[in-house]
Amino acid sequence: MPKNTTRPAKPPAGHHFKNLVAAPHFVYSSPQNSPTPPPPGVDAAVIANLVLTSANSKTLTETLLKPRRFRWSTDLVDKTLKRLWNHGPKALQFFKILDHSSHYSHSSSSFDLAVDIAARLRDYKTLWTLVDRMRSRRLGPNPKTFAIILERYVSAGKPDRAVKIFLSMHEQGCPQDLICFNTLLDILCKSKRIEKAHNLFKIFRGRFRADVVSYNILANGWCLIRRTSKALELLKEMVERGLSPTLTTYNIMLKGYFRSGQIREAWEFFLEMRKRKCELDVITYTTIVHGFGIAGEVSRARRVFNEMVEEGILPSVATYNALIQVLCKKDSVESAISVFAEMGRKGYVPNSVTYNLLIRGLCHAGEMDRAMEFMGKMKEDECEPNVQTYNLLIRYYCDAGEIDDGLGVFDKMNCEHCLPNLDTYNILITSMFVRKKPEDLIVAGKLADAVVFLGTSDCNLHLTCILLRSRIKG
Q: What is the mean pLDDT of residues 455-464?
A: 55
Is residue 434's pLDDT more than 80? no
Q: What confidence category does residue 230 fall into, taking pLDDT thresholds of 50, 70 and 90?
A: very high
**For residues 34-58, average pLDDT:** 74
Above 80 in pLDDT, residue 17? no
d(CA 151, CA 173): 19
Please report which helix (H) or strand (E) contains residue 440, including its range: helix 440-453
Give me the amino acid identity at 119.
A
The reported pLDDT for the residue numbered 111 is 97
3-state SS class at 27: coil
pTM greater than 0.75: yes
Helices and strands in the chain: count of H runs, count of E runs: 26, 0
Range among 43-47, 388-392, 440-444 with highest mean pLDDT value: 388-392
Sorted by sequence, the CB contacts under 8 Å of residue 147 that are 6+ apart come out as: 180, 183, 187
For residue 48, give the amino acid letter: A
Please choose, from the candidates 228, 262, 261, 196, the residue with its C-alpha nearest in 3D space to the C-alpha of residue 250.
228
Cβ(288)–Cβ(319) below 8 Å: no
Number of CB atoms found within 10 A of residue 175's CB = 9
The 3-class SS string of 296-320 reads CCHHHHHHHHHHHHHCCCCCCHHHH
- Judged against a pLDDT cut of 60, whether residue 10 lies above it is answered with no
The domain locations on the chain are: 12-105, 112-124+138-210, 401-474
Contacts 24+ apart (CB under 8 A), 354-358: 354/317, 354/320, 354/321, 354/324, 355/381, 355/383, 355/385, 355/389, 356/386, 356/388, 356/389, 356/392, 357/321, 357/324, 357/325, 357/328, 358/324, 358/328, 358/333
Q: What are phi and psi of 66, to 5 degrees?
A: -65, 130
Return the pLDDT at 263: 96
Q: Could you give the CA distance from residue 272 to residue 263 in angstroms, rounded to a whole number?
A: 14
pLDDT interval class at 422 (50, 70, 90): confident
Mean pLDDT of 359-385: 92
Question: What is the rounded CA–CA span in Å between residue 72 and residue 87?
Answer: 21
Q: Is the pLDDT of residue 32 over 60?
A: no
Give the pLDDT score at 34. 40
- Please give the pLDDT value at position 326: 93
Q: At residue 367, what are phi and psi to the nearest 5 degrees?
A: -95, 65
In tens, the pLDDT along 172-208 reads 889 889 999 999 999 999 999 999 999 999 999 999 9
Alpha-carbon distance of 370 to 359, in angstroms, equals 8
pLDDT at 288: 96
- For 63-123, give the DSSP string: HHHSTTS----HHHHHHHHHHTTT-HHHHHHHHHHHTT-SS----HHHHHHHHHHHHHTT-
pLDDT at 133: 95
Instruction: Characterize 298-320 residue by residue with b for buried, 16 or more Cβ atoms within 10 angstroms of its Cβ, and e for exposed.
Output: bebbbebbeebeeeebebeebbb
- Residue of 134, 135, 179 whose CA lies nearest to 150: 179
Please determine, for residue 13, whether its predicted confidence score (pLDDT) is greater than 50: no
